[in-house]
């Protein structure tokens, strides 16, 4: 019997979390092996590891407690990776040397797999004088471009590129340029951007007052606060960034505000951290803790929740001791405060199982009660750890109890902290759980609503064919099993497609009250929402106590979210309210430009390329497919006896062939290759200077494309694209996934995530 509730869960485990040899040979034979590996690794920090290994395994079993991806993939592997999910780097000095020292630290951190955050408010604005060099400063955005280029280059652990967050204060003189940066669809793609909004600024916005843009005590410009606010709102309305972080609220609510100041967050915003701050994450799967789901007495198992939270807190505390750290400063910061972030996933599914309609005041009250219980259990578990192992080194009872969230905690918890101390300065956070929620059987993600009840996923098989499989939400699947496959879903089943934006805010605000850190959540807005209604979402988030706000509205820069639907046989059309018309059922996920099928026989040509000073020639074979009566390139093979060429020619073969098989205008491949410059020097070939051997390969491919009539001539684009007309081109679709190529990217918890393979920029 498999432990996986859905095929996608096993596929995600195999791709992302299963321990394998370098050649792909599995070391984790089953998911039980993965759980055992994690439990054993974290139990090494205990005086009686055998006892705790069993307890940790029991918590992990059946996906009840879900350590974040870094821990699941890295614990017990002996690899040089960090088990911490996210870091905020040191304060960026306003000097060239200091800035590039910070760049080096960022590269080292991302190389080990950490997502990072930076506050760029400390760099002087563009045009400010630079003492001693008779020049003007280039400003923080120019250095952000350097960070962006570095991030594109570094391949971080676990085969994913790094994720970064950049923040800037609302009073920095370059904040208007920062706000507009993502209007260029090619700029700062490796960053998430957020503006640090202060309480004074929000009061000036409400009063329609003036606002000074200041650096180092010098006022560079005075603007109307409401105009600047509208600029922020218009940018995120048009292209989903920047986000908004209510930075004063974050610092006031911080249990450690007596010994640290926060100015940045991790890439998804749920971890506001001080300089060199680090946090590890994990989630309690609420969908696995509901007693008698969909019954009249359905409820969360309170005792099981308390026990699971206590075990999870202990496991996370042990991660602090067994993890590697990219930088000594990060290790010191983590050891001094032992900050952890226990959150939840499957909350929307659990609400459905208990008959609650996500987004209503009643559901918000239920969610708030659950999260308060988790907060209480987390603090009390950390107190028990302090009795046994000691409080975190910077603990000061009176200052701690007079800070942040501890001021609103129940008296019995406060007294326990006063008497015994506490092991972990902060204990709760709600992280992005897009991939681990798929791994756990496609439970709803974090505190997000169910994104879609069902969709069709296309899976690439080993033989190159594609199969289709239905991916069903965990709660919907349970409902079907209990009441029959054709049973009509109750009206309280709502999803992200039908939920009003202010209902999202209500749920976020309810959860935030009992969460130490912050919450990674996306408020999905319809494309046709008015600008005034859109702004109201952010004001409501501020007024109701949220620490930040991230929205997603389909737009031309970032694309549309995944196009989904529930056919009637899978899940009936959803009614948003009692008077609304049912949604029109439509088809499966729309996948555009599927790879062309390979016929058994192809026509092609082989070309010999002799590069000067190279002992062996390179042979290029280009095979074509006939589509609509026209030849077009389908695949490339690059061969050489020179073994120094083997790795890059094989990679080039695979990448170019993958592009060709997608169809469309692929002539850009030629231009990209021809533009490659070798710093060691190119060569003269047949009276023409070629800047690199890659440029020479591009020239051979171009020669073939001209000869077959695919392009008109050298340096010219596509002559005719026989696949330009694709059925369903006008249908809504997601962005193409950079990992699997499927058009199934969707915005979940502030991060673009692929529902087909689980890829996300944020891990």
* Region of residue 736 (phi > 0: left; psi between -120 and 50: alpha; otherwise: beta): beta
**Residue whose C-alpha is closest to residue 499's, from 529, 476, 538, 471:** 529
Is residue 266 part of the annotated active site? The answer reads yes
Q: Is 268 a catalytic residue?
A: yes
Q: Rg for the chain (alpha carbons), in Å?
A: 27
Place of tokens 């690199």: 692
Residue 101 to residue 140: CA distance in whole angstroms: 15
* CA-to-CA separations, 392 to 277, 343, 395, 667, in angstroms, rounded: 15, 21, 6, 59
Q: For residues 324 and 198, give the distance between their C-alpha atoms in angstroms, rounded to a whole number.
A: 35
Q: How far apart are CA 477 and CA 484, in angstroms?
A: 10
Instruction: Return d(Cα 761, Cα 752) in angstroms, integer.
Output: 7
Instruction: For residue 568, give the 3-state DSSP assignment.
Output: coil
Strand 466-472, strand 551-552: pairing: unpaired
Helix pair angle (693-707, 646-660), 10° resolution: 30
Of 270, 333, 540, 702, the active-site residue reads: 270
Quick one: tokens of 653? 């073969």
Question: DSSP secondary structure string, 700-759?
Answer: HHHHHHHHTTSBSSTT--BS--TT---TTTTS---PPPTTT--S-EEEETTEEEETTT--
* Beta-ladder partners of 469: 457
Say which residues have a Cβ less than 8 Å from residue 724's Cβ, sequence separation at least 6.
664
The secondary structure of the chain in percent helix, strand, coil, rounded to multiples of 5, reads 40, 20, 45
Residue given tokens 């603090």 in the structure block: 379
SS3 state of residue 425: coil
8 A C-beta contact, residue 369 and residue 481: no
How far apart, in whole angstroms, are the C-alpha atoms of residue 112 and residue 158?
A: 9
Residue-wise burial string across 552-589, b where 16 or more C-beta atoms lie within 10 A, e elsewhere: bbbeeebbbbbbbbbbeebbbbbbbeeeeeebeeeebb
DSSP state of 513: T
516's CB contacts (< 8 A; 6+ apart) are: 253, 255, 341, 375, 404, 405, 426, 427, 428, 429
Structure tokens at 143: 């250095």
CA 449, CA 347: separation in Å to the nearest integer? 8
Rounded-to-integer distance, Cα 503 and Cα 55, Å: 38
What is the rounded distance in angstroms from the CA atom of residue 455 to the CA atom of residue 437? 16
Indicate which residue of 251, 254, 255, 266 is catalytic. 266
**Is 398 exposed, middle or buried (CB count within 10 Å of its CB: 0-12, 13-18, 19+)?**
exposed
Q: Which of 170, 268, 279, 311 is catalytic?
A: 268
CA 595 centroid distance within chain: 26
Catalytic center residues? 266, 268, 270
């Amino acid at each position: 019997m498999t432990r996986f509730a859905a095929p996608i869960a096993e596929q995600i485990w195999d791709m992302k979390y299963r321990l394998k040899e370098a050649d792909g040979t599995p070391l984790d034979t089953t998911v039980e092996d993965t759980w055992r590996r994690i439990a054993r690794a974290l139990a090494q920090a205990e005086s009686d590891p055998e006892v705790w290994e069993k307890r940790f395994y029991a918590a992990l079993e059946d996906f009840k407690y879900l350590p974040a991806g870094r821990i699941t993939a890295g614990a017990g592997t002996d690899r040089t990776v960090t088990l911490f999910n996210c870091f905020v780097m040191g304060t960026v000095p306003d000097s060239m040397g200091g800035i590039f020292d910070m760049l080096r630290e960022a590269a080292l951190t991302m190389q080990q797999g950490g997502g990072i955050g930076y506050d760029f408010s400390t760099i002087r604005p563009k045009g400010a004088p630079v003492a001693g060099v008779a020049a003007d400063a280039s400003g923080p955005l120019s250095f952000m471009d350097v960070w962006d280029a570095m991030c594109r280059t570094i391949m971080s652990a676990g085969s994913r590129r790094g994720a970064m967050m950049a923040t800037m204060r609302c009073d920095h003189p370059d904040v208007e340029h920062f706000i507009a940066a993502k209007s260029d669809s090619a700029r700062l793609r490796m960053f998430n951007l957020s503006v640090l909004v202060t309480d004074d600024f929000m009061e000036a916005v409400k009063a329609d007052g003036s606002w000074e843009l200041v650096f180092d005590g010098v006022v560079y410009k005075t603007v109307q606060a409401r105009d600047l606010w509208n600029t922020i709102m218009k940018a995120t309305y048009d292209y989903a960034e920047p986000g908004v972080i209510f930075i004063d609220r974050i610092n006031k609510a911080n249990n450690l505000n007596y010994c640290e100041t926060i100015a940045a967050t991790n890439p998804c915003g749920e971890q506001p951290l001080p300089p060199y701050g680090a946090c590890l994450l994990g989630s309690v799967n609420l969908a696995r803790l509901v007693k008698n789901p969909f019954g009249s007495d359905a409820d969360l198992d309170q005792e099981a929740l308390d026990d699971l939270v206590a075990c999870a807190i202990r496991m996370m505390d042990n991660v602090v001791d067994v993890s590697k750290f990219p930088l000594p400063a990060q290790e010191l910061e983590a050891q001094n405060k032992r900050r952890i972030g226990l959150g939840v996933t499957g909350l929307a599914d659990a609400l459905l199982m208990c008959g609650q309609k996500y987004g209503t005041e009643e559901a918000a009250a239920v969610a708030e009660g659950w999260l308060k219980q988790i907060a209480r259990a987390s603090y009390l578990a950390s107190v028990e750890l302090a009795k046994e192992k000691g409080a975190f080194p910077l603990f000061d009872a009176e200052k701690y109890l007079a800070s942040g969230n501890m001021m609103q905690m129940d008296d019995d918890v406060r007294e326990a902290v006063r008497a015994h101390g506490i092991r972990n300065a902060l204990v709760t956070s709600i992280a992005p759980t897009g991939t681990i929620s798929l791994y756990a059987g496609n439970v709803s993600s974090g505190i997000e609503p169910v994104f879609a009840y069902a969709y069709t996923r296309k899976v690439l098989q080993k033989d190159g064919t594609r199969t289709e499989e239905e991916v069903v939400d965990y709660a919907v699947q349970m409902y079907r099993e209990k009441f029959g496959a054709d049973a009509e879903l109750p009206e309280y089943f709502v999803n992200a497609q039908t939920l009003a934006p202010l209902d999202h805010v209500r749920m976020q605000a309810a959860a935030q009250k009992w969460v130490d850190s912050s919450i990674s959540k996306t408020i999905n807005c319809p494309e046709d929402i008015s600008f005034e209604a859109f702004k109201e979402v952010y004001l409501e988030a501020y007024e109701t106590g949220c620490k930040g706000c991230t929205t997603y509205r389909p737009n031309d820069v970032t694309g549309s979210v995944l196009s989904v639907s529930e056919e009637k046989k899978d899940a009936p059309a959803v009614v948003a309210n009692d008077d609304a018309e049912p949604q029109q059922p439509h088809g499966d996920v729309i996948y555009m430009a599927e790879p062309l099928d390979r016929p058994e026989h192809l026509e092609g040509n082989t070309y010999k390329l002799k590069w000067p000073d190279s002992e062996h020639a390179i042979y290029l074979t280009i095979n074509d497919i006939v589509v609509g009566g026209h030849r077009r390139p389908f695949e490339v093979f690059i061969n050489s006896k020179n073994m120094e060429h083997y790795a890059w020619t094989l990679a080039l073969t695979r990448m170019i062939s993958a592009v060709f098989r997608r169809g469309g205008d692929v002539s850009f491949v030629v231009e990209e290759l021809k533009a490659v410059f070798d710093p060691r020097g190119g060569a003269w070939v047949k009276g023409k200077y070629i800047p690199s051997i890659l440029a020479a390969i591009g020239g051979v491919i171009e020669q073939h494309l001209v000869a077959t009539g695919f392009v008109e001539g050298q340096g010219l684009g596509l002559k005719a694209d026989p696949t330009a007309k694709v059925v369903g081109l006008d249908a809504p679709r997601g962005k193409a996934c950079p990992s699997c190529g499927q058009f199934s990217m969707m915005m979940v918890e502030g991060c673009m995530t692929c529902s087909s393979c689980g890829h996300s920029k944020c891990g």
